[in-house]
Amino acid sequence: MRTIHIATATAQTHDLGHELPTAPAADGFYWVSCSRAEFEAQLPALQAMLLQLCGMPLLDLHVSDLLNAHLPSNYDYTSQYDLLVFQRLVSTKQDSAPPAQVKPQRRDPVLARIVTRPVGLAVFDHLLLTVHPEECPVRTYFLQRLLSVQPTDIRVPKRASSPADLMLRLVNHMVDSYLELRRELTRQLDHWQYALLRPKARISNWSAILDARLALHQLDEICEDQRAAMQEWIEALDGWPPESLPQSQRERELLKVRSRDVLEHIERVVHHVRRLEQSAETAVQMHFSVQSNRANDIMRTLTTITAVFLPLNLIAAVFGMNFEFIPLVHKQGGFWWAMGGMGLVSLTLLSYFWRKRYIERIDHNQ
């Protein structure tokens, strides 16, 4: 568990360590972050702290949501706080995923990364409570960023002005990881498309392609839940009472802008995932079309060869009959006359089939 005091007036950050705040912040707000196990173990102390500082503890239903390690993205609110649960990507090097969600023996390493964990964010007026999985990189990144940067550094953007602003920054960072994943997914699916569209390709790893389609479908559902949660947050934000001070009204407008920006990033991921799904489906259909066309070419060639040799077999069968008197049988040049006739018939049929384009050379480079 980690408690950070972010002072908005002086742009300073104070690390309170593992201690919970005991009094409301005179300037700025508190950020209390903990893992899911720490939240469960310190729940009575956290509820007492929320009651003292914010006037209302978390509802039992919301506590259950924050303790649920498989809850999809969703949004809920009360009169005192807003609760957002957001799914973030899991890095297989840092998190241990359940066997039911990860199949490293079958999936491609890129697709094995499409595993998520929920991050709970409870937004009060002057406090942000976040519940993360173990060793959450999002939590580590923001803690290092807040504690290592000096307020006089002009290269650093302005810090969060409120708990809602910090919550949106956390969510935006989680969405950016989905945007980075798009490039790797596109590269892997492009490789499969080239393999599927090769004329002489023999694809045997259909299970990997099926896993890819299932993973993309799963990612689409995850992003849809995220988009629905953010839309509900934006609608709730529009219903907040108007601010009387111009500075507060400007901060409210910045919150709306940042919320719409996060929603636009999620929609970009959804659009890209659906385009990848269509590309994978199109590549599979084109693969079967190419294989079917190749089989048709082979059957056409075999049919043409059969049609050429059919009259030759007829001539050979006629001269093989057990009759005493057959033309050309007892003549000295009969064999060569028969062979010449058979050759003439073959050339005539081949010329006819070539003009009809039943047989032709296929250029695979075109």
Judge whether 271 lies within some domain.
yes
Per-residue H/E/C for the chain? CEEEEEECCCCEEEEEECCCCCCCCCCCEEEEEEEHHHHHHCHHHHHHHHHHHHCCCCCHHHHHHHHCCCCCCEEEECCCCEEEEEEEECCCCCCCCCCCCCCCCCCCCCHHHCCEEEEEEEECCCEEEEEECCCCHHHHHHHHHHHHCCCCCCCCCCCCCCHHHHHHHHHHHHHHHHHHHHHHHHHHHHHHHHHHHCCCCCCCCHHHHHHHHHHHHHHHHHHHHHHHHHHHHHHHHHCCCCCCCHHHHHHHHHHHHHHHHHHHHHHHHHHHHHHHHHHHHHHHHHHHHHHHHHHHHHHHHHHHHHHHHHHHHHHHHHHCCCCCCCCCCCCCCHHHHHHHHHHHHHHHHHHHHHHCCCCCCCCCCC
The band of 122, judged by pLDDT with boundaries at 50, 70 and 90, is very high
Task: Inform me whether the pLDDT recorded for 149 exceeds 70.
Answer: no
* Cα separation, 31 vs 130, whole angstroms: 8
What is the reported pTM?
0.72
Per-residue pLDDT of 60-94, as tens digits, reads 999 999 999 889 999 999 989 999 999 988 754 44
Judge whether 361 lies within some domain.
no
Judge whether 279 lies within some domain.
yes
Return the percentage of the chain with pLDDT > 90, whole number: 27
Query: Which one is predicted more confidently, 120 or 362?
Result: 120
Task: Inform me whether the pLDDT recorded for 123 exceeds 90.
Answer: yes
143 and 220 part of one domain? yes
Judge whether 163 lies within some domain.
yes
The top-scoring range by mean pLDDT among 3-17, 21-35, 82-96, 295-309 is 21-35
Walk across the sheet containing 29-35 and list its strands. 12-17, 2-7, 29-35, 127-132, 116-123, 82-89, 74-77
93 and 159 part of one domain? yes
260 and 328 part of one domain? no
The band of 103, judged by pLDDT with boundaries at 50, 70 and 90, is very low
Domain boundary among 269, 289, 309: 289
10 and 122 part of one domain? yes
336 and 282 part of one domain? no
The band of 179, judged by pLDDT with boundaries at 50, 70 and 90, is confident
334 and 249 part of one domain? no
Judge whether 209 lies within some domain.
yes
Per-residue pLDDT, 109: 53
What residue numbers bound the domain in which 29 lies?
2-289
**Six token digits for residue 40:** 């469960």
* Cα separation, 157 vs 161, whole angstroms: 12
| Residue 366 buriedness (CB in 10 A; 0-12 / 13-18 / 19+) | exposed
284 and 338 part of one domain? no
Length in residues, the chain: 366
Task: Inform me whether the pLDDT recorded for 313 exceeds 70.
Answer: yes
139 and 63 part of one domain? yes
Tell me the average pLDDT across 253-281: 87
Judge whether 326 lies within some domain.
yes
Number of domains in the chain: 2
Query: Which one is predicted more confidently, 158 or 156?
Result: 158
263 and 340 part of one domain? no
35 and 179 part of one domain? yes
114 and 225 part of one domain? yes
Judge whether 315 lies within some domain.
no
CA distances to 30, 69, 70, 119, 126 from 17, in Å: 12, 25, 29, 21, 18
Domain CATH for 284: 3.30.460.20
Judge whether 71 lies within some domain.
yes
Task: Inform me whether the pLDDT recorded for 207 exceeds 80.
Answer: no
336 and 195 part of one domain? no
